[in-house]
């Protein structure tokens, strides 16, 4: 006897199941919105109350635009004093705000050697095209190391790539 390929005749197989279909009236809609707003108001007030009781001090922000200071105009390096009006509890964090600095460009993001970033020393002849266009210290544009040692321009850049070239130091 051959089985039939027709679906069963029950309501589930024929997709004729009854479903809940509410009838929206003005009263039911208002009741739903009022109940939802009371729930959100309750939880929102609990969260606000908890946020004001945190043990962390309120942050203090001091903004100094040093590119407009007269002692810094046209200089690669400058020193200035920041006056703090009130006591700041530790830890103290200092942040830079940069304008017109876009580091999400595809070439910028892809220009790095992952092996080098994992600590594997890469010789100049084994430098991958992933570092393009920055392979040597001459390409980076720096001739002095962080420790103050002179670097030859043909020395392999470690790390190589555009990310290494664009390390921000506030001088350019």
Whether residue 20 is contained in a domain is answered as no
pLDDT tens digits along 20-68: 888 899 999 999 999 999 999 999 999 999 888 766 666 778 888 877 7
Q: Is 143 inside any structural domain? A: yes
114 in a structural domain:
yes
Residue 120 lies in a domain: yes
**What is the domain range of residue 163?**
110-167
Tell me what pLDDT residue 172 has.
46
Residue 141 inside a domain? The answer is yes
Quote the longest CA-to-CA distance of the chain: 99
The answer to whether position 8 is within a domain reads: no
Q: Does residue 97 lie in a domain region? A: no
Residue 87, domain member (yes or no): no
Q: Is the pLDDT of residue 149 over 80?
A: yes
For 85-93, which contacts have Cβ atoms below 8 Å and span 24 or more sequence positions? Answer: 86/60, 88/60, 89/57
pLDDT tens column, 100-118: 666 667 888 888 888 888 8
pLDDT-derived band at 92 (thresholds 50, 70, 90) equals confident
pTM of whole model > 0.85?
A: no
CB 122 within 8 A of CB 85: no
Q: Which residue has the tokens 């892809």?
A: 110
Give me the pLDDT at residue 25, please: 95
Q: How many domains does the chain have?
A: 1
> Token pair 């007030």 is at which residue?
45
């Amino acid at each position: 006897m051959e089985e039939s390929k027709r679906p069963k005749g029950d309501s589930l197989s024929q997709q004729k199941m009854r479903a809940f279909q509410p009838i929206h009236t003005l009263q039911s809609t208002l009741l739903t919105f009022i109940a939802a707003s009371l729930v959100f108001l309750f939880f929102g007030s609990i969260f606000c109350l908890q946020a004001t009781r945190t043990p962390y001090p309120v942050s203090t922000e001091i903004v100094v635009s040093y590119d407009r200071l007269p002692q810094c105009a046209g200089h690669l390096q400058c020193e200035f004093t920041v006056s703090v009006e009130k006591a700041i509890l530790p830890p103290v964090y200092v942040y830079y705000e940069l304008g017109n600095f876009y580091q999400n460009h595809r070439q910028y993001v892809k220009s790095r050697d992952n092996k080098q970033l994992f600590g594997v020393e890469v010789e100049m002849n084994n430098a991958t095209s992933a570092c393009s266009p920055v392979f040597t210290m001459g390409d980076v544009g720096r001739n002095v190391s962080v420790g103050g040692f002179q670097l030859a321009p043909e020395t392999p850049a470690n790390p190589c790539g555009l990310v290494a070239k664009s390390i921000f130091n506030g001088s350019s």
